[in-house]
């Protein structure tokens, strides 16, 4: 956390000196030019922790390789996009390469349990996981649209997942997840509303990939199921997915920047980024955390707990009109 805090301050000075600024426009949720690219601090701080855990043999080498190679690709292409725009097709290609590297490093996938039924892994399962990883990477970028929200999500989801992993006797993976949460918290000190620096695509892409990677690896090598991760990440997954579906149905250019997510509508309605980010933290810790724990303890009912967790999030997204276009 301290490393990320210091590095974020360094990145802020660097961005100001080099003119790496996020300039307000009609699609922005901020009104003043703000430095961006602070996500590099999260990446370097996280990699420091991951390297230390590998050296002390608390995590496996294949886990280190998957997190480092894919995370580096996602972070670097995001930073290059922060500096000068990279076409969406090129970015997406790099995202798929990062996801493929992750699945190769993860090795053979275990069977998945859904309502007591065991699904044998195969080509279809791998393809679904590949798309899920790429979607997680991109939706995190989509959801990084107001001060503090992306840092809050990584901090609270990572912290809750670390507690649950420790409970199922996976201390190495638990500490690993806590490293990412702590790095995000160090950045959040600078990013809380009003933000002094944005994480940019370098941070949102890196965190989206890393959370997806931790989800895949913990499902592969521990007793902590992927369903619990999907429950914990419900706020981001539901809002981003509802918004995307609505924009596609409206025949809009869904891949273009916009400010139509439910959380952005909420921030405008209440005129507060901090209040919305705090609500996300409360939902994660008070509502989703207990349901994620139940999904881990009673795996035969994991899908039921997922539906129970997501239904209020779906209702909230519809209430705040996720995907409704803002003129201009």
Q: What pLDDT, in 10s, does the model give residues 60-84? A: 999 999 999 999 999 999 999 888 8
In a domain, 327, yes or no: no
Is residue 326, in this structure, part of any structural domain at all? no
Residue 63 within a domain: yes
| Angle (nearest 5°) at CA 84 between 82 and 85 | 85
Q: Where do the H-state alpha helices sit in the chain? A: 2-18, 39-55, 61-83, 88-106, 123-143, 149-167, 171-191, 200-221, 226-232, 234-249, 262-270, 273-282, 289-297, 302-319
What are the tens digits of pLDDT across the range 174-192?
999 999 999 999 999 999 9
Q: How many domains does the chain have?
A: 1
Residue-wise pLDDT for 3-39, tens only, equals: 999 999 999 999 999 988 887 765 666 668 899 999 9
Sign of CA dihedral 177, 288, 290, 310: negative
Measured between alpha carbons, how far is 205 from 198 in angstroms, rounded to an integer?
13
pLDDT the model gives residue 253: 77
Could you tell me if residue 39 is inside a domain?
yes
- What gap in Å lies between CA 40 and CA 4, rounded to an integer? 9
In whole angstroms, what is the distance from residue 94 CA to residue 9 CA? Answer: 28
Give the predicted TM-score (pTM) of the model: 0.93
pLDDT band at 299 (very low <50, low <70, confident <90, very high): confident
Question: What are 91-129's pLDDT values in tens digits?
Answer: 999 999 999 999 999 877 666 666 566 666 677 788 888
What average pLDDT does the segment 147-171 reach?
Answer: 95
Percentage of the chain modeled with pLDDT above 70: 91
pLDDT for residue 87: 87
Residue 26, pLDDT score: 58
pLDDT at 67: 96
pLDDT digits (tens, 9 = 90+) for 219-244: 776 678 889 999 999 999 999 999 99
Local confidence band at 279 (pLDDT 50, 70, 90 cut-offs): very high
| Average pLDDT over all residues of the chain | 91
The answer to whether residue 175 sits within a structural domain is yes
Q: Range of 305's domain?
A: 2-20+32-319
In a domain, 256, yes or no: yes
Q: Is residue 103 part of a domain?
A: yes
Full DSSP string of 123-136? HHHHHHHHHHHHHH
In a domain, 26, yes or no: no
Burial of 69 (0-12, 13-18, 19+ CB in 10 A): middle
């Amino acid at each position: 956390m301290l490393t990320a805090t210091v590095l974020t301050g360094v990145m802020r000075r660097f961005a100001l000196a080099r003119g790496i600024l996020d300039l307000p426009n009609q699609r922005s949720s901020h009104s003043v030019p703000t430095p961006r690219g602070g996500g590099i601090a999260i990446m370097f701080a996280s990699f420091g922790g991951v390297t230390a855990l590998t050296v002390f043999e608390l995590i496996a080498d294949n886990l280190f390789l998957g997190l480092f190679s894919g995370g580096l690709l996602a972070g670097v292409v995001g930073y290059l996009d922060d500096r000068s725009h990279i076409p969406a097709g090129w970015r997406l290609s790099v995202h798929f390469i990062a996801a493929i590297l992750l699945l190769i490093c993860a090795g053979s996938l275990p069977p998945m349990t859904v309502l007591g039924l065991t699904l044998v892994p195969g080509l279809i399962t791998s393809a679904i996981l590949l798309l899920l990883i790429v979607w997680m990477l991109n939706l995190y970028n989509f959801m990084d649209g107001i001060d503090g929200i992306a840092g809050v999500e990584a901090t609270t989801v990572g912290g809750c997942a670390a507690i649950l992993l420790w409970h199922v006797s996976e201390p190495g993976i638990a500490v690993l997840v806590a490293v990412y949460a702590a790095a995000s918290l160090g950045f959040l000190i600078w990013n809380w509303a009003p933000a002094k620096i944005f994480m940019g695509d370098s941070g949102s892409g890196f965190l989206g990939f890393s959370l997806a990677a931790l989800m895949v690896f913990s499902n592969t090598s521990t007793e902590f199921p992927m369903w619990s991760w999907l429950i914990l990440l419900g706020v981001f997954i539901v809002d981003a997915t509802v918004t995307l579906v609505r924009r596609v149905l409206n025949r809009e250019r869904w891949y273009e920047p916009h400010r139509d997510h439910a959380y952005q509508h909420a921030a405008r309605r209440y005129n507060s980024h901090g209040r919305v980010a705090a609500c996300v933290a409360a939902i994660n810790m008070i509502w989703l955390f207990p349901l994620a724990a139940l999904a881990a303890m009673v795996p035969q009912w994991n899908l039921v707990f997922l539906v129970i967790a997501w239904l209020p999030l779906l209702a909230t997204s519809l209430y705040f009109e996720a995907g409704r276009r803002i003129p201009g």
